[in-house]
């Protein structure tokens, strides 16, 4: 299902501003009904779907709306309360549920919310199932009879179950004693879980961003705002810091010197650890935005590196198709498919911590095995979406930039999945050349698509 054929689903479920279509109570109730009908077709046993949420205030409203829609479809709801997205995926599998539903807008502010789904195996939905749900949404909503209505159940031990699962992914012959770790939960869904996991494995834990009030999720804390974690690591004299996002599927770390360790570096550390222990299977998967230094470092290990479109769903698809085990995005979505079925910030952090403990090295030393290439990203806004690769002067400018870089860099033009933007990315060994080529190429793109609109710069 291409993006153009989707009416509601984006690359990661349905997301938007609360109170504005489609993120409204009436739509979400019908979405629960439509999804319930699709997920439980042909099911002979009692039908059940798990519902979990992050800590934003609108989660209460949408939890009730989904529960009502599922009940009307004759499906039981098992309510998990605040729970990380990967925790919902795990519990969907262990409860043998027909599906899992996540109420979250991930790293967005509290004004937004969204709905995403897991199939019974704890994986994200295939495109064709999302399309079936969209078709069902076009049908008039009809309730089953009173005798067939679904019921709601509160799961009281959801957090404890997931904590034990996370701990089980850390080698039983190791512990975290002697490590002081700052854990930033972004005032999100991991606030009552991530610090407990690290503490129960023996770490001296300094919790941060662990007081959600419904409105402060991701605000100045977490994986998208690591500055608070950097300050805390230095102030506490901690060995390292862990930053999760609002729904717990994204991980950014900070070393003992207060330096950010991004998703590319984290994935490389995990890949090298697995390779050294003979646990690596197949290629490491990144995206078109993954740093070229990451690719070269993986290849230095003797491993293949494959790129897919931006989005952890595409990483997951390639891993599953080839029976591979590891992939990640620069933003911190990291999938260890030999351990769990989706991206999981806590479990990814534990794999890095295992490398720290086994090697006896600091996080700073471990990340030094990879040298990031200078990268410049410039966003060029358009009046409307269009295929810039069909414009001859842009193609010629890209070819010229690639010729200048040779085999020491690369050029990427990528449309945003959510805004009328073209992301112009240039990467190479020479920072000055990278900046020069990026600005020149962005100017060419702007002039070609809409010369009256300004460029939005972002330097990485």
Of 441, 412, 421, 417, whose CA–CA distance to 381 is shortest? Answer: 421
Residues in Cβ contact with 85 at an 8 Å cutoff, skipping those fewer than 6 apart? 52, 54, 102, 104, 106, 116, 189, 247, 248, 249, 342
| Same structural domain, 130 and 181 | no
Q: How many CB atoms lie within 10 A of CB 26?
A: 12
| Same structural domain, 231 and 316 | yes
Which member of 58, 64, 106, 290 is catalytic? Answer: 106
What would you report as the CA-atom Rg of the chain, rounded to the nearest whole angstrom?
22
- Say if residue 341's pLDDT is above 70: yes
- Say if residue 2's pLDDT is above 50: no
Compute the distance between CA of residue 209 and CA of residue 181 in angstroms, rounded to an integer: 14
Helix (H, G, I), strand (E, B) or coil at 67: helix
pLDDT of residue 44: 66
pLDDT of residue 418: 63
Number of domains, the chain: 3
pLDDT of residue 250: 96
- Say if residue 90's pLDDT is above 60: yes
- Say if residue 357's pLDDT is above 70: yes
| Same structural domain, 33 and 124 | yes
| Same structural domain, 147 and 168 | no
Average pLDDT (133-150) is 96
The model's pTM is 0.92
Of 2, 12, 29, whose CA–CA distance to 331 is shortest? Answer: 12
| Same structural domain, 252 and 280 | yes
Place 273 in a pLDDT band, splitting at 50, 70 and 90: very high
pLDDT of residue 268: 98
| Same structural domain, 166 and 74 | no
For Cα atoms 269, 270, 271, give the angle at the middle one, nearest 5 degrees: 90
Q: CA separation (Å) from 139 to 14, 39, 40, 74, 158?
A: 19, 16, 17, 17, 34
Residue 172 appears among annotated catalytic residues:
no
Query: What CATH number does the domain containing 191 carry?
Result: 3.40.120.10
Compute the distance between CA of residue 362 and CA of residue 132 in angstroms, rounded to an integer: 49
Lowest average pLDDT, out of 172-181, 311-320, 345-354, goes to 311-320
Q: Decide if 181 contacts 241 (C-beta within 8 A).
A: yes
| Same structural domain, 255 and 300 | yes
User: Residue 81 burial (CB < 10 Å; 0-12/13-18/19+)?
Assistant: middle
* pLDDT 10s digits, 435-458: 999 999 999 999 888 755 545 554
| Same structural domain, 192 and 277 | yes
Range of the domain at 236: 162-367
Question: Which residue has tokens 């799961």?
Answer: 155
| Same structural domain, 186 and 282 | yes
| Same structural domain, 346 and 424 | no
Bond before 372 cis per omega within 30 degrees: no
pLDDT, averaged across the chain: 93
Q: Decide if 215 contacts 57 (C-beta within 8 A).
A: yes
Compute the distance between CA of residue 190 and CA of residue 72 in angstroms, rounded to an integer: 31
Of 280, 294, 287, 282, whose CA–CA distance to 310 is shortest? Answer: 287
- Which of 335, 350, 367 marks a domain boundary? 367
Query: What CATH number does the domain containing 386 carry?
Result: 3.30.310.50
| Same structural domain, 144 and 222 | no
pLDDT of residue 126: 86
Q: How many CB atoms lie within 10 A of CB 299?
A: 12
Place 4 in a pLDDT band, splitting at 50, 70 and 90: very low
Place 12 in a pLDDT band, splitting at 50, 70 and 90: confident
| Same structural domain, 393 and 256 | no
- Which of 96, 127, 156 marks a domain boundary? 156
- Which of 340, 367, 394 marks a domain boundary? 367
Place 388 in a pLDDT band, splitting at 50, 70 and 90: confident
């Amino acid at each position: 299902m291409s993006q153009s054929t989707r009416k509601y689903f984006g690359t990661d479920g349905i997301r938007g501003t609360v109170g504005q279509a489609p993120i409204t109570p009436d739509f979400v109730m019908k979405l629960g009904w439509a999804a319930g009908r699709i997920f439980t077709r042909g099911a002979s046993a009692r039908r059940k779907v798990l519902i979990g949420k992050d800590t934003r205030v609108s989660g209460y409203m949408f939890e009730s709306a989904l529960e009502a829609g599922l009940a009307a479809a004759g499906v039981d709801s098992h309510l998990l309360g605040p729970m990380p997205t990967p925790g919902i995926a795990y519990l969907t599998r262990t409860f043998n549920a027909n599906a899992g539903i996540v109420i979250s807008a991930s790293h967005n502010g509290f004004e937004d919310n969204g709905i995403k789904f897991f199939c019974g195996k704890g994986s994200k939905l295939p495109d064709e199932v999302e399309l079936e749900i969209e078709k069902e949404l076009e049908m008039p909503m009809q309730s089953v009879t009173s005798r067939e209505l679904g019921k709601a159940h509160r799961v009281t031990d959801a957090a404890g179950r997931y904590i034990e699962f996370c701990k089980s992914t850390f080698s039983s012959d190791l512990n975290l004693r002697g490590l002081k770790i700052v854990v930033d939960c972004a005032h999100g869904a991991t606030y009552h879980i991530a610090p407990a996991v690290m503490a129960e494995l023996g770490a001296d834990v300094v919790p941060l961003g662990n007081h959600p009030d419904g409105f402060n999720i991701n605000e100045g804390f977490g994986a998208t705002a690591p500055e608070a974690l950097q300050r805390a690591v230095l102030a506490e004299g901690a060995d390292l810091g862990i930053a999760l996002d609002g729904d717990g599927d994204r991980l950014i770390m900070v070393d003992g010197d207060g330096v950010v360790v991004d998703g590319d570096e984290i994935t490389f550390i995990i890949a090298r650890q697995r390779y050294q222990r003979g646990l690596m299977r197949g290629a490491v998967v990144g995206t078109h935005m993954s740093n070229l230094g990451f690719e070269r470092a993986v290849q230095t290990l003797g491993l293949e590196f494959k790129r897919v479109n931006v989005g952890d769903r595409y990483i997951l698809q390639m891993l599953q198709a080839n029976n591979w085990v590891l992939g990640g995005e620069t933003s911190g979505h990291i999938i260890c498919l030999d351990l769990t079925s989706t991206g999981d910030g806590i479990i990814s952090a534990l794999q890095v911590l295992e490398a720290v403990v086994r090697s006896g090295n600091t996080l700073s030393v471990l990340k030094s095995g990879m040298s990031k290439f200078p990268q410049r990203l410039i966003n060029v806004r358009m009046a409307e979406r269009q295929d810039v690769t069909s414009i001859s002067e842009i193609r010629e400018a890209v070819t010229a930039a690639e010729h200048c870089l040779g085999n020491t860099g690369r050029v990427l033009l990528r449309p945003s999945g959510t805004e009328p933007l073209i992301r112009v990315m240039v990467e190479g060994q020479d920072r000055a050349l990278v900046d020069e080529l990026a600005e020149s190429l962005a100017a060419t793109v702007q002039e070609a698509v809409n010369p009256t609109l300004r460029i939005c710069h972002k330097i990485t």
